Amino acid sequence: MPSDPLRFVRPDFVDLEEYEPVKPLEVLAREIGVPVGQLVKLDANENLYGPRPEIRDAVAAADFHIYPDPSSSDLRAAIGRYLNVDAAQIVAGAGADDLIDILIRLTGPERIVIAPPTFGMYSFLGKIGGAKILSVPRTPGPEFEIDLDGIRAAVDAGARMIFLASPNNPTGNVLTDFQVEALADAEAIVVVDEAYAEFAETSVVPLAAKHSNLVVLRTFSKWAALAGLRIGYGIAHPELAARMMAIKQPYNVNVAADVAARKALELRAEILEDVRCLVAERERLIAETRKLGWLEPVPSQANFVLFRVVGRDAKTVVTDLRNRGVLVRYYARAELSDYIRISAGRPEDIDRLMQALRELD
């Protein structure tokens, strides 16, 4: 009788759900019967303009037989200049996801508050960190406002860490400074995930100087089209940032990511032109889909829009679009069962999407 190979695994890990395994593009393309290059990928909020050629050149020229700088000094200095904060407040990581993990490991919170519907990584990494996840739901759509009193009650009940995204994924709405400051007055670390800040009109980075328990997360994945290289960062009180630096994996930022991110900051004026185009396409997406009469957009400050599907089955719409080579996001969760999320793309991507949507009429 062979012994149980999982007997040394932490009991709560034995049946932990994997983080939404997604099919590789090649597999999807084969299933649908189109070449990968003809898929319109509007399901993961990536920047379909892709990285600037200068970034590819810089990565190609990087010396990656040498280990990266564990303190990412040049990159953190460049980010500091970009945001007008001290480099000592910046911690870089393998995507914003890495910073979520670092914060959870640093503080070891017994309870973490999230405000669903929201980004899945907070509860996923929270559970791996051994925390209990307290969900304080947002109000129903189209508002999807956070429940400030409910979150404060969760802190009173012992939660020491709050994760909120602004703009929120998948709803697209932002937090107000008032909401963030009200939460920062509570006895908990408040993490505001600004993965989509470059597409939005507001940011709470300036508030980080006032509140030692406020941490802001950012990434190069969305605006700078570097999702596949894994590079993000956090802005925190210098003492908290120093402790984050102390416990992170020393080489969490690889050489290619470091070089690419610095080049992206150098080229930010040009890249932000692409961002402006994506924002314009987001607004065109809203205007064009309104004419169909069966998609109700939720106002968004990010590079995607959440739509309520009215009078037809949302999941069927997603399948029908996929069969036409257009990928959008569906959520298998009760409160989003009538919704689909569509990323903004280049004009030609949104044209292809609109053509497919009209074919469904």
Ligand X SMILES: *Cc1c(COP(=O)(O)O)cnc(C)c1O
> Counting beta carbons within 10 angstroms of the beta carbon of residue 18, is it exposed (0 to 12), middle (13 to 18) or buried (19 or more)?
exposed
User: Scanning the structure block, which residue is given the tokens 């919170």?
Assistant: 109
Residue 107 or 219 having the CB closest to ligand X: 219
The least distance separating ligand X from the CB of residue 220, rounded to whole angstroms, comes to 7
The residue type of 208 is: A
The least distance separating ligand X from the CB of residue 298, rounded to whole angstroms, comes to 15
The least distance separating ligand X from the CB of residue 165, rounded to whole angstroms, comes to 4
Residue 340 or 357 having the CB closest to ligand X: 340
The least distance separating ligand X from the CB of residue 65, rounded to whole angstroms, comes to 26
The least distance separating ligand X from the CB of residue 193, rounded to whole angstroms, comes to 5
Residue 222 or 352 having the CB closest to ligand X: 222
Contacts (Cβ under 8 Å, ≥6 apart) of 252: 92, 93, 94, 98
The least distance separating ligand X from the CB of residue 7, rounded to whole angstroms, comes to 33
Quote the distance between the C-alpha of residue 259 and its chain's center.
21
Residue 257 or 350 having the CB closest to ligand X: 257
Residue 40 or 165 having the CB closest to ligand X: 165
| Residues lying near ligand X in the complex (CB under 6 A) | 45, 95-97, 119, 165, 169, 193, 195, 219, 221, 227, 232
The least distance separating ligand X from the CB of residue 195, rounded to whole angstroms, comes to 4
Contacts (Cβ under 8 Å, ≥6 apart) of 149: none
Residue 206 or 228 having the CB closest to ligand X: 228
The least distance separating ligand X from the CB of residue 101, rounded to whole angstroms, comes to 10
Q: Please give the residue whose beta carbon sits closest to ligand X in the complex.
A: 95
